[in-house]
Structure 1
């Protein structure tokens, strides 16, 4: 009888254990925090492998482990004090009626120049420390409506001024791929945070390269959308003629999903009237792994770094390999020139002309910050700013109103038409133009950066551009490849960059911020114990049960 019971136990426990192990494996495969995506978050929630509260805690753990400790990336200015309570609300909503939206419980890291109702908005400046604007930026409100969880606000170059993310409030953000190097700017805090997996979706702003430079330096996808596709309402401005806000993500699909949630008309941003009739129902519908087959792409060699610069030569070598990959994936690639390129690049950015006007208008429409500042002049008088930028602030404050400045009027009259005409000529018969997102790899902090000039074409024209990971230098430093297209043709750029991403798989997480304990869910559990019991039972039976003759 005992032998019979042992036999029954054995033949019952083995298949049960096997099935449970398979179930656990399926759940674990459905959610692994490292390099998590919107899809993997949704899969983990729907399978029951993980809750929103657990996901949120895991991301808070990563920020705690790696932002001020470990490699000390210094990417985050503020974490949302309500993060776990918001997660609990999302869990309750999910249990009652399913996901709130397509981004249910997706953790978002915002550059700290996006207004948020539940966290201060500082632009990195001590002058705006503790500044609650009382509302969400348009894009932030849209993210919340889609179910996203606004987890943290990221460091930046103060008031988005430069390609190094240093601010009086947040210090300097470092690159997770090499912590003595630049994370880029001005959205470098967002770039480092998303590269290190402090969140799934990041949002930055771009006036002259500030999404694309840090995305390139952190092996991310960065989207500078067409001016007018996404609202700038509720974003601290630098120069509204050139400003955009957009996603910074680890995958092209996540960038497309982020666009789905945030684009569209906003009466508080008149430029978005141009988006009416231009927005597809779903940007992910254009993602095609074979999207490069038959695509026609123009390489703009004039936007590559100088061969005489050893750092630029490293980037050029990576980009040349990326171009070879495009050809192998079916693209027809040819070298092209942009008419009047030297003249286009001779124009300055408009931040020196528009910053005072646009910032003063932004502050006038909001409550008074704790410091009492209401204008750029007040900020200068307060001394609560990055000392290195003092000259830049003073010179901008001393400028006349841009509408009365003949130099400004000439730029806004001549530059857009010249740039758009030249780019459309270069794009004739082509789907996109490509060039290095930055002409050299991430620089050692304190040393010079050969940024190149390609970053100017999108803001000068208003046309969209997407940077995508193109590989790494021999030293392991990320390089980005930028695709530029026609106004509102984000669908084509997403198709091309998705096919390139899927065909190459260049993105790799930084070694400095490895997986923490518990980030694969669930951990081996009851099924593993049952399998051990079953194995033990099998050994007992094997040893004690008489062998039948063959």
Structure 2
């Protein structure tokens, strides 16, 4: 990836119009960029102590110098400096668009952009979409600066049973910035590693099951998977419309709350957004309160006995919750085995349907899953690390009129919702907390991912919101805890997550350790 690092340095120089060595670094800004929240950055810009142009240049410099260690960014936006300058002009004339105005954002490279290729990590899709994804349009309406595209697990980790998270044919292997030979987890791996390494203020990830919360937990950041339908999926490379959603990945809960406020909203091209309640909050950051844990009833799904480090972090998190006035009760979510038996076979069927619908709007490339399979067989890179068994199974799967498929999807979704709804009703809960992840495993192309523990399934399959917050460490490796609750309760889980973050400021910047014993 050395050539790509050189390209990033050159692009950063061109974008800001000065030598790369003169681009402000984190230190030259005069404050700790890693710790700065969006409200703090906005205050500095309002006071004239910072500009969007300087902030963007600082992040570009970090990408050019730091990303060579982790390979989290696939490409840069050639319009980033112009977007930052436009934000500064709006601010000078009192016309800022939102609290995201002037804030640099990275997009997972399965989100369509007119200014950059959208590849899903695949060499077969190296073309430029005709339109920005709906969520990208929302970001621009809020004044955000799009820095570029983050690497991902190719095809959102839905190509092989033995895949390695963080690897794509276009971007290569993304590393975990805490320990470089450890895996960043999940398909939004580049987004997670980039935010952990302070290469942007916000990244947008996508999740079908775990692909926002797992990389966020593994890299020690905040990740929010919204309620299904709260954020449009139009222009996002799909796995399944029954579970897919995009959401923010940040270093601070308040930044995720601000970003969600800009991202959410109706889209006639995505029917799921038509279900957003009329009373859904529009400003999630305004609802964050330091005492939000006081008086709350929270169920803890410990998933204990799998990893001793995780058990220690969960127990410490329970003590924090109780110390801040929450009542914590142990729970065990039912139906998990049956949900798992039905979820994946349903996704196999839905993937072919939804991918074909997406490819129909991407002229100049493969039009069908069969064509993608054939492309991979003939490409020297695509099958060099692992195969495409999931593609091949999906190509042979029935369509969504099949009665077996219909039963599988109904079973998976219904039981996932019951597992949360009935548990919350039985124990009169405001939310459920569970460990997000086990310590990151070594990246391994022979055996693939070594998933040990994850709690993403119930919220992912039900379409309910889930926010993961840094909670502690196992050695140098981060462990997160996830807060989830019922449908449309995004404001609740964000408020609880923010109060927990305030009471337990566990996140720390990565040290880029090469390896550990």
TM range (shorter): 0.7 to 0.9
1:144 maps onto 2:143 in alignment: no
Could you say which residue in structure 2 is the equivalent of 1:366? 362
Report the CA distance shift for 1:93/1:453 in structure 2 as closer, same or farther (over 3 A). closer
Give CA deviations for 1:5-32 in whole Å, capped at 9, x if unaligned.
Answer: xxxxxxxxxxxxxxxxxxxxxxx99854
Could you say which residue in structure 2 is the equivalent of 1:431? 430
Could you say which residue in structure 2 is the equivalent of 1:213? 214
1:96 maps onto 2:93 in alignment: yes
Could you say which residue in structure 2 is the equivalent of 1:315? 310
Q: How many residues align?
A: 471
Report the CA distance shift for 1:211/1:451 in structure 2 as closer, same or farther (over 3 A). farther
TM-score computed with the length of structure 2 as normaliser: 0.87
- Provide the C-alpha distance between the structure 2 equivalents of 1:340 and 1:377, rounded to a whole number of angstroms: 35
Equivalent residues of 2:342, 2:409 under 8 A apart: no
Report the CA distance shift for 1:207/1:278 in structure 2 as closer, same or farther (over 3 A). farther
Could you say which residue in structure 2 is the equivalent of 1:333? 328
Aligned-pair RMSD on alpha carbons?
1.9
Equivalent residues of 2:419, 2:458 under 8 A apart: no
Map of 1:396-407 to 2, 5 A cutoff? Answer: 396-404=394-402, 406-407=403-404
- Provide the C-alpha distance between the structure 2 equivalents of 1:443 and 1:81, rounded to a whole number of angstroms: 35
DSSP 3-state at the match of 2:387:
helix
Equivalent residues of 1:225, 1:490 under 8 A apart: yes
Shift of 1:444: 1.1
1:113 maps onto 2:110 in alignment: yes
Shift of 1:34: 2.8
Map of 1:37-52 to 2, 5 A cutoff? Answer: 37-52=37-52
Report the CA distance shift for 1:207/1:316 in structure 2 as closer, same or farther (over 3 A). same
Shift of 1:38: 1.2
Equivalent residues of 1:278, 1:488 under 8 A apart: no
Could you say which residue in structure 1 is the equivalent of 2:277? 276
Report the CA distance shift for 1:185/1:52 in structure 2 as closer, same or farther (over 3 A). same
Structure 1 residues without counterparts, runs of 5 or longer: 1-27, 514-550
Could you say which residue in structure 2 is the equivalent of 1:134? 130
DSSP 3-state at the match of 1:481:
strand
Report the CA distance shift for 1:31/1:39 in structure 2 as closer, same or farther (over 3 A). farther
Map of 1:214-229 to 2, 5 A cutoff? Answer: 214-229=215-230
- Provide the C-alpha distance between the structure 1 equivalents of 2:417 and 2:255, rounded to a whole number of angstroms: 29
Shift of 1:343: 2.5
- Provide the C-alpha distance between the structure 2 equivalents of 1:453 and 1:38, rounded to a whole number of angstroms: 29
Equivalent residues of 1:292, 1:329 under 8 A apart: yes
- Provide the C-alpha distance between the structure 2 equivalents of 1:166 and 1:338, rounded to a whole number of angstroms: 32
Equivalent residues of 1:345, 1:453 under 8 A apart: no
Equivalent residues of 1:41, 1:105 under 8 A apart: no
Could you say which residue in structure 1 is the equivalent of 2:25? none
Shift of 1:502: 0.5
1:386 maps onto 2:382 in alignment: yes
Shift of 1:79: 0.8
- Provide the C-alpha distance between the structure 2 equivalents of 1:84 and 1:351, rounded to a whole number of angstroms: 40
Equivalent residues of 2:56, 2:104 under 8 A apart: yes
Larger Cα-atom Rg:
1
Shift of 1:423: 1.6
- Provide the C-alpha distance between the structure 1 equivalents of 2:55 and 2:454, rounded to a whole number of angstroms: 40
Report the CA distance shift for 1:78/1:66 in structure 2 as closer, same or farther (over 3 A). same
Map of 1:225-240 to 2, 5 A cutoff? Answer: 225-240=226-241
Equivalent residues of 1:231, 1:264 under 8 A apart: yes
Shift of 1:37: 2.1
Work out which of the residue numbers 437, 440, 443 in structure 2 matches 1:442: 440
DSSP 3-state at the match of 1:333:
strand
DSSP 3-state at the match of 1:127:
helix
Could you say which residue in structure 1 is the equivalent of 2:23? none
- Provide the C-alpha distance between the structure 1 equivalents of 2:343 and 2:294, rounded to a whole number of angstroms: 38
DSSP 3-state at the match of 2:238:
coil
- Provide the C-alpha distance between the structure 1 equivalents of 2:111 and 2:145, rounded to a whole number of angstroms: 15
- Provide the C-alpha distance between the structure 2 equivalents of 1:375 and 1:416, rounded to a whole number of angstroms: 27
Shift of 1:288: 0.9
Shift of 1:99: 2.1
Shift of 1:57: 1.1
Equivalent residues of 1:264, 1:279 under 8 A apart: no
Give CA deviations for 1:250-303 in whole Å, capped at 9, x if unaligned.
Answer: 1110110011001111111001111131421311122111111111011123x3
Shift of 1:40: 2.3
Equivalent residues of 1:200, 1:249 under 8 A apart: yes
- Provide the C-alpha distance between the structure 2 equivalents of 1:361 and 1:299, rounded to a whole number of angstroms: 40
Shift of 1:98: 4.1
Could you say which residue in structure 2 is the equivalent of 1:512? 512
